[in-house]
């Protein structure tokens, strides 16, 4: 079985291969750095500070900085607003056409699963430790990475954060692919930051799980013991109809391709689905939790 890295905060910067060599995290792509340099040059030519540009494009100063340093993929809204704010030269629109997401911030051993996710015709996720990466708010994801041991440099943290936010784009771009999530209630009760950040997380989860192709079910605290107590798991189906599984623990993860092993995971998942709250009850629970903050 292949070893891959997943949703946890502990994505190691490097690992030893069987040959004893080190595999490093990739650096931000040249296209992101180039776009950022163009944006910074145009901003400075216009005589604007990062804070002033942030106000005009309606993004945070931190986002502007991350884009300029090549740490973050700018979305269409950012490109268009920055283009208008910086003179409508067309330079940013043209540069944006050549942006490459690459796999910045993804550990080498997680890239295989990430590629499988992007092409899957369905994806099921059970989580009992933290909010699944595809549903995390930016503030929550940042808090997760900031709590990682060993500590990350600012560049490493930004790369990981960018990668996680980019993975979420997959859900918006594939509206006909079923995404199913089953998450333990206690995950949403675990505090981070202040009340505003907690409300932001719940709002983000509710927004991401609102489309018809996304199903979120919460396992309530009173549900008791169930079939997935061995830990978090993901199962996907490929275009060829093949099912693959992924599970992880401390400092490791594994891709499960054996049909019998995957069948067991699918059976456990379907059994837990029948024990969890239905989607409407789950949304009602999250809204109640938000009201308690």
> Over the stretch 146-186, which tens digit does the pLDDT of each residue have?
998 888 888 788 888 888 888 888 899 999 999 999 999 99
Asked if the peptide bond before residue 119 counts as cis, ω within 30 degrees of 0, the response is no
3-state secondary structure (DSSP) of residue 116: helix
pTM over 0.85: no
Q: Tell me the mean pLDDT in the region 259-266.
A: 95
Cα-Cα-Cα-Cα dihedral sign, residues 275, 280, 285, 290: positive
Q: What is residue 21's predicted lDDT score, i.e. its pLDDT?
A: 30
**Contacts with 44 (C-beta within 8 Å, 6 or more apart), sequence order:** none
- In the predicted structure, residue 5 carries a pLDDT above the cut 50: no
pLDDT in tens, 9-62: 443 333 333 332 323 333 446 778 889 999 999 999 999 999 999 999 999 998
Gap between the terminal Cα atoms of the chain: 43
pLDDT of residue 271: 95
Tell me which residue has tokens 């509710």. 206
Using alpha carbons, select from 226, 229, 245, 228 the residue that is nearest to residue 237. 245
Mean pLDDT across the chain: 85
Rounded to whole angstroms, the Cα distance separating 61 from 229 reads: 42
């Amino acid at each position: 079985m292949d070893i891959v890295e997943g949703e946890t905060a502990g994505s190691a910067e490097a690992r030893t291969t069987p040959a004893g060599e080190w595999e490093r995290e990739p650096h931000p792509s040249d296209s992101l750095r180039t776009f950022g340099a163009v944006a910074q040059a145009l901003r400075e030519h216009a005589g604007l500070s990062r804070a002033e540009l942030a106000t005009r494009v309606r993004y945070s100063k931190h986002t502007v900085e991350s884009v300029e340093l090549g740490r973050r993929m700018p979305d269409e809204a950012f490109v268009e607003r920055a283009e208008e704010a910086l003179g409508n030269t067309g330079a940013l629109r043209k540069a944006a056409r050549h942006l490459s997401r690459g796999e910045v911030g993804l550990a080498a051993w997680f890239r295989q699963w990430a590629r499988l996710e992007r092409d899957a015709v369905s994806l099921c996720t059970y989580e009992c430790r933290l909010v699944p990466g595809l549903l995390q708010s930016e503030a929550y994801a940042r808090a997760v990475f900031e709590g990682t041991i060993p500590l990350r440099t600012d560049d490493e943290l930004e790369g990981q954060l960018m990668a996680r936010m980019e993975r979420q784009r997959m859900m918006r771009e594939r509206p006909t692919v079923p995404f199913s999530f089953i998450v333990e209630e206690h995950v949403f009760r675990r505090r981070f930051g202040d009340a505003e950040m907690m409300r932001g997380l719940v709002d983000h989860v509710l927004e991401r799980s609102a489309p018809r192709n996304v199903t979120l079910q919460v396992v309530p605290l009173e549900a008791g013991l169930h079939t997935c107590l061995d830990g978090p798991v993901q199962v996907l189906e490929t275009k060829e109809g093949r099912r693959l599984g992924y599970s992880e623990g401390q400092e490791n993860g594994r891709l499960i391709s054996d049909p019998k092993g995957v069948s067991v995971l699918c059976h456990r998942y379907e059994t837990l689905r029948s024990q969890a709250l239905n989607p409407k009850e789950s949304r009602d629970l999250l809204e109640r939790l938000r009201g308690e903050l």
